[in-house]
Chain A
Amino acid sequence: MSCWRFVLRRKLLPYIEGLLGTRDVMRLERHLLDCEPCREMLVRLRAGHNLVRRLAPVRSTDSRQPSFADLMRAQSEMASTRTRRFLTGWDWSDRLATPRVVTALAALVLLQTVVLVVSNRGLVFGERTTASAKPSGLELSQFRKLSISELKFNSQPHVATEGYVEGVHTDKEEGTVAFRLVESRGGSQPFVVCEIAGPIQMEAPREGSHVRVYGVARYDAQADRKWYEVNPVFHIDTLGH
């Protein structure tokens, strides 16, 4: 069994070392009264702490350590080697011609090419395009995938849902783009309203296109409307036109 109060557990060692303030000491000691795992950990840490206090610096004898003169000699040798190589220039062409450098350069060129192709594959291959502005630290795989009809049963904040785009509306003043996403082409229900809002900038999806939208799930309940929303939208995958 272990204690889930990991913030308090982290204070056990500073407590042993007398580094905690009065308030933290009182809080920790109150917790220790009720928590056997932490009391056991405290005993182990005390024993470990008594052990490491016996550690001493390990010093070699002076004759075996590099002296200051050795250090200065090494420094001036390095400096004169760098100067010699710079003046003669032979080192640079030799360095550039080594197999390792050539391989590294080739790998770099290949990587650049791959990055260019991947980021422009819509242009190159005419395939699905994406628009994205997801928050840092959040992976698309962490968005819960569900259909538009399932949104009403959803309790997770980050969702991904797909459908057909209709009624794209751009509000230049507000800097927002809103559209409806319907589950089946030609049908009006069920639907979800999606909104791309500033500061997130992304291209509006095309009318009629089949897309998957990633964003925050909401329920908008007003006097004149009650509908589910994905607002704001973080990412759109175009699945077909």
Chain B
Amino acid sequence: MGMKRLELTAAERNDAGKRERGLVLAAQRGDSTAFRALYEDYRDRVYSLAIYSTGDDSQAQDLVQVVFLSVFRGLKSFRFQSSFSTWVYRIAHNECQNYHRRRRANVVPLEVILGGIEEIDPKPISDAQHARQECQSIVQQAVMQLPFQMREAVVLRYVEGLSYEEIAKVLGCAPGTVASRLSRALAELEERVRPFRRFL
């Protein structure tokens, strides 16, 4: 599990950006090792967005594959008009949106995230870790109950660490709209989680 982007320093972000640009240019020239490196950098991030969007592990994995096939096909025409990450997240956002349009479902079943977390880590954990995971799962459940548009903004900002401007480019809206969407989401989350305050 990598550091959230919000936690990187400006210098670290700059270095990561230069490395990434080099990889993208190499991949555009046909270097499959470079493309593999990009895939491995972004696979988990796209999966995280997909699982929060769908709540279903197998759907999320399908989405990951669809997203990267689109990235692979479109890579040669990528012109660095936005950052590579914005471009990838935009493709992921479009695929998640298409998924929801096909499913016509905005509210996602609650149990999958909890089940997924327990399966990932079968080793015995301490009480403190258990308590932390319980808190996290309450918050995740509440996030999964948000409407898709709000949920996506929350995940892009607080899980993937994108800035307001980057989220605006991914979602195709103004930064002010992102701020409004996040504000409504946080107010709604606070209301939903209020009955469980004593567990947090």
Contact = CB atoms under 8 A, between A and B. Distances in A.
Main secondary structure of the interface of B (DSSP, over half): helix
A53 interface: yes
Interface of A: 9-14, 19, 41, 44-45, 47-49, 51-61, 64-66, 68, 70-72, 74-75, 78
Q: Give 3 nearest A-B pairs by CB, closest first.
A: A48-B186, A48-B190, A52-B158
B116 A58 contact: yes
A53 B158 contact: yes
A58 B160 CA distance: 10
A55 B150 CA distance: 15
A55 B139 CA distance: 7
Contacts of B4: 57
B78 interface: no
A11 B176 CA distance: 9
Given A59-B1, A59-B120, A75-B72, A49 B48 contact: no
B40 to A, nearest CB: 7
Contacts of B69: 71, 74-75, 78
B120 A61 contact: yes
B179 A66 contact: no
B190 A68 contact: no
Given A45-B186, A66-B61, A71-B72, A59 B179 contact: no
Main secondary structure of the interface of A (DSSP, over half): helix
A51 B189 contact: yes
Contact of A59 (B44, B158, B190): B44
Contacts of A13: 179, 182-183, 186
B164 interface: yes
Contacts of B44: 57, 59, 65
A45 B57 contact: no
A52 B68 contact: no
A67 to B, nearest CB: 9
A55 B1 contact: no
A53 B115 CA distance: 21
The size bracket of the interface on B is 35 or more
B48 A12 contact: no
27 contacts: A9-B183, A13-B182, A13-B183, A14-B179, A41-B183, A45-B186, A45-B187, A47-B190, A48-B185, A51-B189, A52-B157, A52-B186, A52-B189, A53-B158, A55-B140, A55-B154, A57-B1, A57-B4, A58-B117, A58-B140, A59-B48, A60-B57, A60-B116, A65-B64, A66-B65, A68-B36, A74-B69
Contact of B183 (A45, A47, A60): A45
Contacts of A68: 36, 39-40
Nearest to A48: B186
Nearest to A16: B186
B197 to A, nearest CB: 9
A237 B147 CA distance: 44
A49 B157 CA distance: 11
B36 A55 contact: no
A52 B77 CA distance: 36
A52 B32 CA distance: 37
Contact of A54 (B36, B139, B164, B188): B139
A13 B189 CA distance: 14
